[in-house]
Every structure is written in C-alpha cells, then in structure tokens.
Amino acid sequence: MRWNLKPKPDQVLVQKLQSELKVDTLIATLLVQRGITTFEEARLFFRPSLDDLHDPYLMKDMDKAVGRIETALANEEKILVFGDYDVDGTTAVSLVSSYLKNYSPNIATYIPDRYNEGYGISYLGIDYAEDNEFTLIIALDCGIKSIDHITYANQKNIDFIICDHHRPGDELPAAVAVLDPKRKDCTYPYDELCGCGIGFKLIQALAKNQGEGITTLLPYLDLVATAIAADIVPMTGENRVLAKFGLEIINSTPRPGIKALIQNIKKTKLTITDVVFVIAPRINAAGRIKHGNEAVALLTEYNLEQAAEFASEIEKHNTERKDLDKNITEEALSQIINNNETERFSTVVYQEDWHKGVIGIVASRLTETYYRPTIVFTKSGDKLAASARSVKDFDVYNALENCAKHLEQFGGHMYAAGMTLKEENYEAFKAAFEETVRKSIHPDLLIPEISIDLEINFSDISPKFIRLLNQFEPFGPENMTPVFLSKNVYDTGYAKPLGQKDEHLKLFVKQNDSEGYGAIGFGLGAKINEVKNQKRFDMLYCIDENEFNGSVTIQLRMKDLQN
C-alpha cells in the first residue's frame, strides 16, 4: 500500500480563510484542499441552499423540451419515459414519470432488458412505443450517442427528448431536444449532474413554468440523492445541494419504496455511505437478476404494504446477486492461479456460464485481490460480453481503443467500460490488452494508494473539530471523507482480531498520554503482530461517530498502519 500525503496548500490562502471563518488551521487546510478559498465559497459549502440551484433554462434545449412536453400534455398524447436499468436510470424514470402523472394519465415507463436489449435506447423499445401509440419518448441517462435509434424513431413519427450526462460524440442525435451539460454548445454552469439530476432539472423547468416553487419538488429528492450516491459523480456544486436535501428526505419522509428498503437499518440518521451500500445495491439487483421494471415499480409505489412486498422480492434478488458474485469471484480467482497469471499486468478472465448481471461487480472484486486493470467476460448470445474496471489514474478506455480491432463494440470511461467480441477473437484480445497495459502503465499504479489529507495528533480531535468535520458531509468524489495520519501511536493491550477468519483488527489506541480511542481496521487482521506489546506504529484513519443505545462515541476507522 502506497501512502501519499497531499502537499500542503498555499499557507496565505489557509491563513486568510482561517481568519475569515474563525476556524482552526486544520479545518481551513481541509477546505483549501477542496478548492474552497473564500468566505462565500465556504458559505455555499457549509450551508447548501435550494436557492443555490441554477435556473434550469440555462441548459441548452430546455425550452424546447418543456415546450414539447407541454404540447403533449395539452393534446393528451401518450408519453413513454425510458431509462437504463441501473440505479441512475431507474431513479430518473421513477422521478420523471411520477411527476408527469400529476398532469396526465397517459404516462408509461420502459426499462430495456439487460440481456435481450442491452444498455441504452433499443429498437425493441421504439417498436413498443409505436405498437402502443406513444408519440413522445423521454430518454433518461442514455441516448446521447443513439444517432441511428433516433433516426429510426423519427421515421415512425415518434419524437425524442434526450436527458443524458455522458460525453457526446461528434454528432448529436436528431431529437426534439438534447439536454446534456457536456454538449460543447451548452453553457450550463454545472456539468457533473447524473442522469437523474438531468431529469430533476427537467421537472424543475416544468414546475417553474407552472409557477411552482422549488420546495414543491422536495419529495423527489430522495431519488436524486440515491442516484448521485450510486453513480459516483462529484459531490460538488448542485450535486452537493441535491444530495444534502435528498438525504434529509430519506431520513424524514422517504417515499414508501425507499422506506421499505431501509426499515431494517437500526440507525437514527442515514449517510451517503448507507445509500451507497444499502439502498443502491438493492435497486441495482432488480436489473441485474430479474428486470429493472421491478425497481421502478418499487420506487413509484405509494402504498406502503405493496412497497414492502416489492422490497421483499428485491431483497431476494440482492441475496441471489451476492451469492453469484461470491461464487463467480472464487471461480475467477482460481482461473487466474491455474493459468499461472498472478504476475501479469492485467486480469482478463472468461467463463461462458457466468451471470452477465454481476460481471462488473466481479471485476471490481478481482481488482481488490490483484490490483490491476481487470476484464471479466461471459457468453451473451453468440458473442462474449465483458465489464472492465481500472485502477487509480489508469485509463482503461484508452487501452481498449488500442485493442479495438479485436472488439465488436465498446464504450465507457476512464475507470469502467463494457465491450463485446467474437469468441474466436478472445485470446488475441487478451494478449493485446496485456501488452497494451504492460507498455503503458507506470509500475506505481499497480500498488494501491491511500491519499492522506493531513497529519494530526490525537490531541487535535476535539468536539468542535468533529462538529465541523460533520458539516463537510455529504461526502463523495472531490469531497471524500478526510483521511488522517497520526504517528507514533500504540495499542493499550486491547488488540484482537475480529471476523470469521480473523480478517479484521480491533484496537484501543493512544498517542503519548492523549485520550484513547477505539479503532477498527477492516481487512487489517494480518497486521496484529505489528501492534502487540505496545509497539509504536503510524496509522491512517477516518474519524467516525458510533451510535449505540443512544450514546455517541468516537471511533477511528483504520485504513492502514505500519511500524
């Protein structure tokens, strides 16, 4: 594990901010590291407000989108709300369809089948719209590169509004409106929204035209916060505002579907981490194991009893997903060992009966064992389909471009991608990918890195410090939970392993004669000998608050330690 202590930011900026905010140097340093250098930026950061949201009509084509929807509603046209089968897509479809149903009964939803149709807009979906007399399709979280599909729909007199957040190609689809802040000709002030976030801007624009204030849209923000957390978009700007208020809805008045998913969590206040690890995987499980329609049914159900039934079914899918994920990961790890591939620069594995719905998760699991770019293939019809995952700072999409001659198609971004190829090209692709990675990856990138915000002493951990740290939430990319380094600490004799295989480590640590803290290190059980007999060590950790029986205690969540 590589430890990388962030360089100290400009001390003049730190001192200026410290003086303006009347906070200590550590808090001011953490803020400047996050690009917050003025009193006004700090106000926006610590006190996000719905008033900080941008006017949705600043987005290119928003007026066209609203105009077309209002015409459809006035003429009682049938509108099909179409979206991808993952969390971002299903929450976006649930949000836009449930909003439009306030104005028309002629609203239906469509989620493509992961196995028969694949990702994005499908010809089957357009045919379904034609067969059922839909004249407008609103596509969410997909469509920005669906040039041929939109042409096909236009030939059938079906209009499209595209709401996407992925990077466009050189040509835009011939839709009535294309809402995507990443369009080169779009000057919208914030371009890191997720698909559900774009859907929210659309209903915000519709509501504004109806003379409704932003507060009328608060009940939809539980969906937006869930998508922001699941899609791992930057926790900055509008995302931060939407996530904060969405979390408040999740914790106070969530929709019945989300309430049913979280009813067994014994916590008084859920965080973004809970959304990522509890809510999102269950919503995703529907599309992975059965069909994304089940997620939309859950998220748009207003009867709590019915929602509980849907949630129970989705819980079964999630259990099945976990079993598949575990078994396939074990088979893949065995394959790597049996093929003498433990020392390669990349991992590429294939088995024809692996479940297509979990190969992305398996690719992530394999990178936890062998930290290197990883691709997991399975059979899909007469082709092989795969999911790729990368390691920090290595662009797997670029690597795939170098091997494109072996592939049928591929798409994605720096850290994750999908692809298909003919079975007879598998070995040639595998060799080409290994060669590309070997030539282009810096050896350091094959060692996991922990980025450290600050070195602090235990004496710095005061109630005020923790109170201010809590106001840094919600955490996410570009505003990650701070990681601290404390040196020369020791366990007071409490050290013990935890877990079925002693894989975790529990300590009670002190530094000099400071106050002691309970500390837990997940996956650090093997390091128990490094902390026995009050040996001194350096420790990386995040500061958590543990709630038990109504009392709150500080717990240090260890990321790594070394003597």
**Span 493-516, pLDDT tens digits:** 889 999 999 999 999 999 998 889
Residue type, position 258, single letter: I
Residue 103 to residue 70: CA distance in whole angstroms: 10
Terminal-residue alpha carbon distance, the chain: 13
Query: Are the C-beta atoms of residues 414 and 390 closer than 8 Å to each other?
Result: yes
Chain centroid to CA 306: how far?
A: 28
Residue 532 to residue 328: CA distance in whole angstroms: 37
Residue 111 to residue 291: CA distance in whole angstroms: 8
Can you list the residues of the chain whose pLDDT is less than 70?
Answer: none
Per-residue model confidence (pLDDT) at position 414: 83
Per-residue model confidence (pLDDT) at position 518: 94
Per-residue model confidence (pLDDT) at position 114: 82
Ramachandran area for residue 480 (φ above 0: left; ψ -120 to 50: alpha; else beta): beta
Per-residue model confidence (pLDDT) at position 269: 86
Per-residue model confidence (pLDDT) at position 220: 98
Per-residue model confidence (pLDDT) at position 267: 79
Per-residue model confidence (pLDDT) at position 115: 80
Residue 263 to residue 257: CA distance in whole angstroms: 10
Per-residue model confidence (pLDDT) at position 264: 80
Residue 410 to residue 205: CA distance in whole angstroms: 34
Per-residue model confidence (pLDDT) at position 287: 86
Per-residue model confidence (pLDDT) at position 169: 82
Q: What is the mean pLDDT of the chain?
A: 94
Which uninterrupted H or E stretch holds 12? Answer: helix 11-21
Strand partners, 178: 162
Residue 473 to residue 191: CA distance in whole angstroms: 21
Per-residue model confidence (pLDDT) at position 551: 78
Cite the beta strand spans of 62-168 per DSSP E: 79-83, 107-110, 136-140, 159-163
